[in-house]
Structure 1
Amino acid sequence: MCPVFVAWGRFPVFDVGFGYGLDASLILVVFHTYDFTRFISSFYFKRYASLSKMQKIEWNNRGMSTVHAVFITFMSSYLVFFSGLFSDQQDGPVTFRSSSLSNFTLGVSVGYFITDLAMILWLYPSLGGMEYVVHHILSLISVMYAMLSEEGQLYAYMSLISEATTPGINLRWFLDVAGMKRSKAYLFNGVAMFVTWLVARIILFMYLFYQIFLHYDQIKQMETFGYLLVSVAPTVLFVMNLMWFSKILRGLKKTLAKRH
Structure 2
Amino acid sequence: METRELTVLAGSFVGFQLLFSVVSPRLSIVITPGYGRLPATKLTEWNSRLVSTVHALIVGLFCLYILWFDDVVNADPVWGDPSLVKLNVAITCGYLLYDLVLLACNWSTMGDGFFVCHHLAALYAYGYVLTRGVLPYFANFRLISELSTPFVNQRWFFESLKYPRSHRLVVLNGVAMAAAFFLVRTAVMPSYWFSVFATFGTEAFDRLGLGAQVAWISSCIALDILNTIWMYKIARGCYKVLTGRGGRKPKDTVEMEASSEGKRVNNHAD
C-alpha separation in 1, matches of 2:32 and 2:194: 45
Alignment partner of 1:219 is 2:205: yes
Q: Which residue of 73, 78, 85 corresponds with 1:95? A: 78
Structure 2 residue 131 is the aligned partner of structure 1 residue 148: yes
User: What is the match of residue 258 of structure 2?
Assistant: none
SS in 1 for 2:129: helix
CA 1:25–1:102: 2 relative to 1, 3 Å: closer
Contact kept? 2:166, 2:244, Cα under 8 Å: no
Partner in structure 1 of residue 56 of structure 2: 69
Query: After superposition, where does 1:144-223 map in structure 2 within 5 Å?
Result: 144-180=127-163, 181-216=165-200, 217=202, 218-223=204-209
Shift in alpha-carbon separation, 1:44–1:107, aligned structure 2, 3 A: same
Q: State the alpha-carbon separation in 1 of the partners of residues 110 and 145 from structure 2.
A: 20
Change (3 A) 1:125 1:200: farther
> How far apart are the structure 2 equivalents of 1:125 and 1:215?
43
| Structure 2 equivalent of residue 255 of structure 1 | 241
Instruction: Give me the TM-score of the superposition, normalised by structure 2.
Output: 0.82
Judging changes above 3 Å, is the alpha-carbon distance between structure 1 residues 259 and 246 closer, same or farther for their aligned structure 2 residues? Answer: closer
Q: Determine which structure has greater relative contact order: mean sequence separation of CA pairs < 8 Å that are 6+ residues apart, divided by chain length.
A: 2
How many residues matched? Answer: 239
* Paired residue secondary structure (1:61): helix
Closer/same/farther in 2, CA of residues 221 and 25 from structure 1, 3 Å limit: closer
Query: Which of 235, 241, 247 is the equivalent residue of 2:221?
Result: 235
Contact kept, 8 Å, 1:117 with 1:133, in 2: the verdict is yes
State the 1:72 CA deviation.
0.7
Tell me how far 1:46 sits from its aligned partner.
0.6
Between the aligned partners of 2:127 and 2:43, the Cα distance in structure 1 is 30
Q: How does 1:37-76 map to 2 (within 5 A)?
A: 37-76=24-63
State, as a whole percentage, how many aligned pairs show the same letter.
Answer: 23
The equivalent of 2:14 in structure 1 is: 28
Deviations along 1:179-234, whole A, 9 cap, x unmatched?
A: 11331111111111111111111112221111111122222320322111222111
**1:121: which partner in 2?**
104
Q: Point out where structure 1 has 5 or more consecutive residues left out of the alignment.
A: 1-17
The Cα shift of 1:178 comes to 1.0
**Do the aligned residues in 2 keep the contact of 1:106 with 1:143 (CA within 8 Å)?**
yes
TM-fit CA distance, 1:85: 2.6
Counterpart of 1:139 in structure 2 is 122
Deviations 1:87-134 (A, max 9, x none): 33xxxx531123432222211111101001111122115224100110
CA contact (8 A) 1:151 1:222 kept: yes
Q: Give the Cα separation in 2 of the matches to 1:125 and 1:159.
A: 30
* Aligned counterparts of 2:45 and 2:69: Cα–Cα separation in 1: 35
Q: Kindly provide the CA deviation profile for residues 157-189 of structure 1, in whole angstroms up to 9, marking residues without a partner as x.
A: 111111111100000000001111331111111
**Conserved in 2, the CA contact under 8 Å of 1:165 and 1:197?**
yes
* Aligned AA (1:96): W
Q: Is contact 1:158-1:204 (8 Å) kept?
A: no
Provide the C-alpha distance between the structure 1 equivalents of 2:57 and 2:102, rounded to a whole number of angstroms. 20
Report the Cα distance in structure 2 between the residues aligned to 1:199 and 1:22, rounded to whole angstroms: 32
